[in-house]
């Protein structure tokens, strides 16, 4: 459970800062690929040159990106807190050995916190993916206009949320009384 939680937390942190949440490949200029993340937009050219620019204004962002920024930062904080709480409650640590009930409560609290971190990772990833699908299949936009598609960070975020939730569930279940 702890290994899954650490893997999920690390993946969630990487997902937060990767500019690969959405990809746009222009048919008119196949030499450029646009990538959008929570914090910046990058253009990758055929020669391998990557140019990134931060989003101009927080308020100018679409609502799903504004809220996703907040939720992903909250998820990273909850993941760190959950890993620390769960680590203190593990059998291998010498903390609270005189009070086994406290170790179980720490492990349970860490598992629940990691589960919440998993949910706060899955919600923004899924919301951005949902809006990407809606925009992709929007019939009011002419077919000639390029459309955003899922980026690699979307899939990494889904795995991160699943790992955090599964790790938290395993740790919370292992906190049962012996």
Q: Which fold has domain 1-18+62-177?
A: Butyryl-CoA Dehydrogenase, subunit A; domain 3 (1.20.140)
Domain boundaries, the chain: 1-18+62-177
Residue 21 tokens read as 């949440």
Residue 38 tokens read as 């929570």
- Buried-exposed string 100-129: b where 16+ CB fall within 10 A, e elsewhere: eeebbebbbbbbbbbbbbbbbbbbbbebbb
pLDDT at res. 69? 93
Q: How far apart are CA 19 and CA 42, in angstroms?
A: 7
Q: What is the pLDDT of residues 19-62, one digit of tens each?
A: 999 998 776 666 788 899 999 999 888 777 888 999 888 888 88
What share of the chain in percent tops pLDDT 70? 94
CA distances to 5, 31, 114 from 111, in Å = 9, 46, 5
Q: How far apart are CA 144 and CA 157, in angstroms?
A: 30
pLDDT at res. 170? 93
pLDDT at res. 101? 81
pLDDT at res. 31? 76
Strand 40-45 relative to strand 22-25, pairing: unpaired
pLDDT at res. 171? 92
pLDDT at res. 153? 94
pLDDT at res. 24? 86
pLDDT at res. 100? 67
Q: How far apart are CA 156 and CA 44, in angstroms?
A: 20
pLDDT at res. 178? 43
pLDDT along the chain (178 residues), means of 10: 95 94 77 88 83 87 90 96 90 71 88 96 95 86 80 95 96 76
């Amino acid at each position: 459970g702890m290994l899954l939680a650490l893997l999920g937390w690390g993946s969630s942190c990487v997902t937060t800062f990767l500019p690969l949440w959405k990809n746009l490949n222009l048919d008119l200029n196949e030499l450029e690929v646009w990538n959008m993340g929570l914090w910046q937009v990058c253009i990758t050219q055929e020669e391998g040159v990557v140019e990134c620019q931060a989003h101009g204004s927080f308020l100018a962002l679409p609502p799903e990106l504004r809220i996703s920024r907040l939720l992903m930062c909250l998820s990273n904080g909850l993941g760190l807190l959950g890993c620390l709480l769960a680590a203190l409650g593990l059998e291998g640590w010498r903390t609270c050995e005189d009070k086994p009930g406290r170790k179980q409560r720490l492990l349970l609290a860490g598992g629940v916190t990691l589960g919440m971190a998993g949910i706060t990772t899955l919600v923004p990833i899924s919301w951005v993916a949902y809006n990407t699908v809606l925009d992709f299949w929007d019939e009011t936009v002419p077919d000639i206009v390029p459309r955003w598609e899922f980026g690699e960070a979307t899939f990494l975020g889904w795995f991160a949320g699943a790992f955090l939730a599964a790790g938290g569930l395993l740790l919370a279940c292992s906190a049962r009384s012996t």
